């Protein structure tokens, strides 16, 4: 909770006032869609800006298919949002009772891949009035990129998920100024050089840590930024060292760095210690630099050298 509050303060975000989140038809999907005549009433109808409540005459209502007993509609917000409320317009000409038994869920990742959601609100067993527009305020902090309207109970094959329009109100969580954003990751590339210890302290001051690059996606993103900004002649401290035992390379969190393509050619050491007064200092800290073959690689480096550095801060998510 402290992390969430800190980011709201840094970003100047109000905890109670949001804006309507823009959603295009390409950002929505559903478990199924009802077809009547030549028209398929897909989820894009629920975000088309049309509030006409007559199913056939207005042609702006989403409906799952008859027989879909676990219907849902997913929305990809395209960024990390703190969802504050959801407004849903019900069908007016008939069948308004279908808008019931719906959980509004918020996910960090695409819900089709699994994951545990935060619950924003629930549409209970009693549906709102026909043709009405009802706003459901999130009962707790709900932060993520994906929204699922999940109908958790159906009484028969015709008890489909059906709604005219859905409007989301929330706050976009963005990285601070001078950062590069990859989903909920905020990368900061320093413009000056320090020792490894000083770099750790600076990253801590701005709310993060030296970057612990853990995925190929993160590695490709960082390398792309370095290449596109012509920074290939520089080396950057990252959140990896073998200072604990002089053998295993570990992330700052303590876990061992696994063998993978983007961390080569780091190799485990011998465990031999060197005196701090020796002219030869051990290379116990990892930096990111370009090799002679033009590839970005993690390299063992002397911790007392001055290098540029890479910080990583994380936006709050539903799992924070």
Helix or strand holding residue 172 (H, E): strand 165-172
Q: Residue 18's closest CA among 86, 107, 84, 106? A: 84
Q: Mean pLDDT across the chain, nearest whole number?
A: 88
Q: How high is the pLDDT of residue 102? A: 98
Q: What is the pLDDT of residues 59-78, one digit of tens each?
A: 999 999 999 999 999 999 99
Mean pLDDT of 238-246: 91
In the chain, the domains with their CATH numbers are: 2-172 (2.60.120.260), 180-314 (3.10.100.10)
Would you call 179 exposed, middle or buried from its count of C-beta atoms within 10 A (0-12, 13-18, 19+)? middle
Q: How far apart are the first and last CA of the chain?
A: 8
What residues pair up with 184 in beta bridges, in sequence order?
none
- Structure token pair of residue 156: 């028969």
The Cα–Cα gap between 225 and 218 comes to 11
Express as a percent the part of the chain with pLDDT over 90: 71
Q: What is the pLDDT of residues 192-211, one digit of tens each?
A: 999 999 999 999 999 999 99
Q: How high is the pLDDT of residue 211? A: 97
> 3-class SS at 151?
strand
């Amino acid at each position: 909770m402290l992390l969430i509050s800190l980011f709201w303060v840094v970003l100047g975000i109000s905890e109670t006032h949001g804006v309507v989140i823009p959603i295009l038809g390409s950002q929505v999907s559903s478990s199924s869609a009802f077809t009547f005549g030549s028209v398929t009433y897909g989820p894009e109808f629920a975000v088309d800006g049309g509030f006409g409540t007559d199913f056939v005459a207005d042609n702006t209502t989403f409906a799952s298919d008859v027989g879909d007993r676990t219907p849902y509609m997913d929305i990809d917000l395209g960024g990390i949002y703190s969802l504050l409320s959801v407004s849903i317009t019900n069908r007016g000409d008939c069948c308004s009772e279908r808008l019931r038994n719906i959980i509004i869920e918020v996910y960090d990742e695409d819900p089709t891949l699994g994951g545990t959601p935060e619950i924003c609100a629930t549409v209970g067993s009693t549906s709102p009035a026909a043709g009405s527009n009802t706003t459901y305020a999130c009962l707790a902090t709900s932060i993520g990129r994906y929204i699922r309207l999940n109908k958790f109970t159906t009484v028969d094959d015709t008890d489909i998920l059906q709604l005219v329009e859905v409007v989301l109100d929330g706050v976009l969580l963005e990285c601070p100024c001078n950062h590069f954003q990859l989903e909920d990751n905020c990368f900061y590339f320093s413009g000056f050089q320090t020792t490894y210890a000083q770099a750790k302290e600076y990253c801590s001051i701005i709310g993060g840590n030296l970057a612990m690059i853990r995925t190929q996606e993160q590695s490709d993103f960082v390398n792309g930024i370095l290449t596109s900004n012509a920074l290939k002649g520089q080396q950057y401290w990252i959140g990896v060292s073998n200072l604990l035992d002089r053998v295993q390379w570990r992330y700052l969190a303590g876990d061992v760095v696994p063998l993978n393509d983007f961390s080569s050619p780091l190799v485990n050491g011998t465990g031999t210690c060197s005196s701090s007064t020796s002219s030869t200092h051990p290379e116990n800290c990892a930096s990111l630099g370009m090799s002679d073959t033009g590839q970005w690689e993690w390299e063992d480096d002397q911790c007392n050298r001055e290098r540029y550095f890479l910080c990583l801060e994380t936006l709050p998510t539903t799992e924070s």
